[in-house]
Structure 1
Amino acid sequence: MKKIITTTDAPAPIGPYNQAVLSGNTLYTSGQIAFNPETGALVLDDIETETKQVMENMKAVLKAADMTFDNVIKSSIFISDMDNFGQINAVYGSYFNDASAPARETVEVARLPKDVNVEISMIAVK
């Protein structure tokens, strides 16, 4: 059984997908990019600000499923330039306790939706 998770505190999907799907106790989130959910504008001022917006969007999706970053067991980070890894990693890491940080991969890709610099998806378990 699956339950669709939606919130107005994160950007609405820009295609035929949902913000997240809960299957049993496992939450599968769609990738989040740096849309400001209040204005609909992309937040691309700098890589730290962009990454913070992505993480705040993800926080809202997790909250809609009654979860937090403590529930995250796996993250996937897609970046357009590996030279931004350190800055992205610092912002991302500030949302987790090092002792309970999830498994993760970070992959450089040729291009991301809306030409953003970072997209993050997660899997979380209650």
Structure 2
Amino acid sequence: MSIKRIEPGARMSGAVVHGNVVYLAGQVGDGKTVTEQSRSALAEVERLLVAAGSNKAKILQTIIYLSDMSTFGEMNAVWESWIDPKNPPARATSQAALATPDYKVEFVVTAALD
């Protein structure tokens, strides 16, 4: 089976396709609030999924990291307005120290191809 790397860099690729599955690197967004960062990061998730030949209706699993669990409701409001309501993925959310203190949320997505 071939492996396709999307937007490879020195440290990581934006996404990797293997077989009929696409694995996205953790996506963080711009902005000062969890709402702004969630919107920005999910727009990047959507862009990478399309680049890989998939879409948000094909998301199998998402792992979400929050720097502060008290923002869970704020992130969920963005998430619930973004996901395909007919095809919600398996999901886990936990609190974690992210790469920099400026990051408030990170999304790690695995999806099927179209």
After superposition, the CA RMSD in angstroms is 1.5
Secondary structure of 1:28's counterpart equals strand
Aligned to 1:3: 4
Secondary structure of 1:75's counterpart equals strand
Question: Are residues 1:17 and 2:12 paired?
Answer: yes
| Alignment of structure 1 residues 1-126 onto 2, 5 Å | 1-6=2-7, 16-34=11-29, 43-109=30-96, 111-115=97-101, 116-126=103-113
4+ residue runs over 2 A deviation = none
Normalising by structure 2, we get a TM-score of 0.90
Shift of 1:44: 2.5
Between Structure 1 and Structure 2, the one with more strand by share is: 2
Secondary structure of 1:94's counterpart equals helix
Secondary structure of 1:98's counterpart equals coil
Amino acid at match of 1:5: I
Shift of 1:97: 2.7
- Would you say the 8 A contact 2:58–2:87 is kept in 1? no
Q: How many residues align?
A: 111
CA distance in structure 2 between the aligned counterparts of 1:5 and 1:93, rounded to whole angstroms: 27
| Cα deviation digits, residues 16-37 of structure 1 (max 9, x gap) | 1100100011001110011xxx
Ranges in structure 1 where 5+ consecutive residues have no aligned partner: 7-11, 35-42
Amino acid at match of 2:12: Y
Normalising by structure 1, we get a TM-score of 0.82
CA distance in structure 1 between the aligned counterparts of 2:85 and 2:109, rounded to whole angstroms: 17
- Bigger drift between 73-82 and 93-102 goes to 93-102
Shift of 1:58: 0.6
Ranges in structure 2 where 5+ consecutive residues have no aligned partner: none
